[in-house]
Structures are given as structure tokens and as C-alpha cells.
Amino acid sequence: MSGLQPIAFWGLQVPAGDQLTMVASEIPGVNMFRITMAAIDPNAKPLEADQPKRATLKLIRRPLDHDDYEDDEDDEDESADEEELKKIQKKSKKLAKKGAQANQMEVDGEDSDEEEDSDDEGFETEEFVICTLDPERQYQQTLDIVVGEYEEAFFKVVGNFDVFLSGNYVVPADRNGEKDDEDDSEDEDEDEYDLSPDEDELMNMLGGGVDDSEDELDDIENPRITEIDSEDEKKEIEPKLTKAGKKSLKRAAEEEGRFNSPTVQENRRQEDPERAEKAEKAGSPATKKVVQGVTIEDKKTGTGPVAKNGVKLGMRYIGKLNNGKVFDSNTKGKPFTFRLGKGEVIKGWDVGLVGMQVGGERRIVIPANMAYGKKQLPGIPANSTLTFDVKLLEVK
């Protein structure tokens, strides 16, 4: 969920008939796309009635060049990259034009001058089959294809139906929000969310930690503060109370009992119901339930606005596999934001986060069919059950 930030919807219609269609941006300065779905209209009429009712989607691109992805070091490098990008776009338009004219019977050779011929010389392409769709058995296919900023990509359809692609314009996650200054990070400590053990805890778990029972103060003679190692030492050190002291302790215990009695608590609810309700929620124990196969366990109940379908949430999270390995996290900096119930995240999140309140912490265990299913992603094997520890920071 980190790495690339979606900023707008992207779509492309690839017509049937073996015609090249270029992947192009309509947003200035944004040239990266994540393609997540390919589909055909099951009610559409086939292009040729006597041909098989299917459509094969293919991706054509220029082989990647390492030079296209080198970082810029100065203004001269940036201008060179801009010229290279313009050159790539120029070649892309030429290749798309040549694909559109591939089925024509006549080609006018006088339309291309010597400069165009020299530019196209040595322009190689790679072709990949993405999926085959038909209107009866499989008319849509989920994808996860990212077209990079400097990639020249085209799609074409071999078959009888137009293919509709959809996804998002994306940018690197650190482009939308730079790292916070050190001064600002101190004010956001309460938003940081880290359940992973620190270095000392790991050393103790592995048996290599330092014994907490020993420290550099143990060698001081006659210390004013003494460590108690056993109950016997505790009894020896405890002072004996006088009769007056015992009466004072008894009176304090009685006052505390009256203060926490049901009658006093009921009076509190009547005087300030909202405050009483928040206090009861804050002290409530963890609860666990299962909704649509997703196990939900509230670790801490929040007191702010409630997460409902359609609202925008700001989250901290740590995602783990069953073996405890962390595959993704957002614990500081800009929170991860999305709109609940709109399919912008895995289904287990849309189900497991409903009802949370701002300030609340929750653990959700998501089965594979509510996460990524049989799909294998970097760091996430196929058919993986995912565990997320989440904290709700804001509701918009």
C-alpha cells in the first residue's frame, strides 16, 4: 500500500482489429499508470460474426534502457532527460501511426522523409500477451501492471471485441508529501504507531540481553534507595503503621468505595452523559468478532468520529504474515488515506475498519479470499492470511 500513490482514475479503450493504441497521459507532469482491470462488454456485438467470440489483449513496448532511469545530478542532466522524453514520445506517436496503417493495402512511401527513416531505424519492440477474454466465461480480468514514467507502452486487441482498461494515475508516495522536519516530528509523536519490538526487546527474546537485575548502582555503599528482591525483604522494609495511620487508610478506602459506587456513577452519567460514555469506552476490555470471515479485535476503543462507508480515513498500520514477517507498514509521517467501502483497498479493510472511532486501535486478521487471493505479490505469497494492526487517526 505504500510506494505509489493513486491520484486520479485512468481508463483506455483498446479497439478490436489489431490496431496499436498508445498509453498516454492527460495530466501534465504525471506519466505513470497502474492498470488494475481489463474487461469487455458482454452485450457488445462481435466485430466479425464468423470469427471466434474472444479478444486477446497484448502489450507492446520498447525494450527498457537503463539510461532512462538514471537519477539527475544537475540541471544539464534534467534538460537532457526532457529531450529524451520528447524523443520517446515522438517515436511512440510514429509507432502508433504505423500500427493504425498496418492493414491498409497501399502505403505512400513519399510521406516519410529521410529524418523519420533515420529515427525509426533500430526501433525494436517487445510483445506480451496479457489475457484472453470472452463474453460468456470470462469477460473481465484483474491486473496489476505499472507503466513507468519513461516506458513506451501500447496495447492492441486480436479478436472480436474492444477491451476496456482501467486503473489509476500514480506518483511515488514521497512526491505528494515530503518527510516532516525534525521539529514537526516531535509534535506528531502521538500519531506514531509501532508495534515491532525494539533492539533491547529483541536481545532479550534471543537470550542475549543484559540482565536487568544488575546495574552500575549496585556497588554503591549505603544507598538511599534499596532494590527489593524478595517478599521477605519487602516485609522487613515496610514500616509498621500506628493506630492513627491505620484509621486514615481505612477512611480513604471507604471514601474511594463511595466515589466508585453505582449511585455515584449513575449521577455522573446524568450530569455529563457524553463524558461518562467516553470514560466507559476508554476502560472497556478488548472485544473480538468475525465479520465475513475477517476477525476483528479492538485493542483500544477510540472516542472520536466513527468510520463509515464513504468517508475518508487516515490510518497507521503494520501488515504481517502468519510467520510474523512485516510486509508493509505506515507508522509515521503522512498517514495512509483512502475512502472506506469504495474498493480502493483490499476487501478485508473495507469490512474490518467499519465502526472504528478516531483514536482507536484494532487488529484485523484477513483470510486470503478477502485479501489478494491466489495472486502473488512482492513479499506476500499466494493464498496468504494477512494480519494488520491499525490505528485510526482521522475521519474526513
Measured CA to CA, the distance from residue 316 to residue 322 in angstroms comes to 20
Q: What percentage of the chain carries pLDDT values higher than 70? A: 56
Measured CA to CA, the distance from residue 281 to residue 284 in angstroms comes to 5
Other CB atoms within 10 A of residue 136 CB: 8
Q: Check residue 380 and give its pLDDT.
A: 93
The C-alpha cell that represents 292 in the structure block: 465475513
Given pLDDT bands bounded at 50, 70 and 90, which one contains residue 273?
low
Q: What percentage of the chain carries pLDDT values higher than 90? A: 39
Condensed to tens digits (0 to 9), the pLDDT of residues 32-82 reads 889 999 999 988 888 888 888 899 999 998 887 655 555 444 445 555 556
Measured CA to CA, the distance from residue 342 to residue 353 in angstroms comes to 13
Residue 320 has pLDDT above 70, yes or no: yes
The amino acid sitting at 126 is E
Q: Check residue 63 and give its pLDDT.
A: 80
Condensed to tens digits (0 to 9), the pLDDT of residues 304-316 reads 999 999 999 999 9
Other CB atoms within 10 A of residue 368 CB: 18
Least-confidence region, from 91-105, 127-141, 360-374: 91-105
The C-alpha cell that represents 216 in the structure block: 552500575
6 forms beta bridges with 170
pTM recorded for the entire structure = 0.37
Contact 351, 294 (CB under 8 A): yes
Summarize the confidence of residues 7-15 as an average pLDDT: 92
Active site residues: 317, 327-328, 346, 372, 388
Contact 302, 357 (CB under 8 A): yes
Least-confidence region, from 56-70, 154-168, 242-256: 242-256
Residue 217 has pLDDT above 80, yes or no: no
Residue 241 has pLDDT above 70, yes or no: no
According to DSSP, the β-strands at 21-22 and 153-159 are: antiparallel
Where is mean pLDDT largest: 107-116, 121-130, 171-180? Answer: 121-130
The amino acid sitting at 52 is P
- The CA distances from residue 391 to 177, 208, 298, 345, 349, in Å, are 20, 32, 10, 16, 12
The amino acid sitting at 334 is K
Least-confidence region, from 267-271, 338-342, 346-350: 267-271
377 forms beta bridges with 380
- The CA distances from residue 115 to 39, 109, 118, 121, 363, in Å, are 40, 14, 5, 10, 62
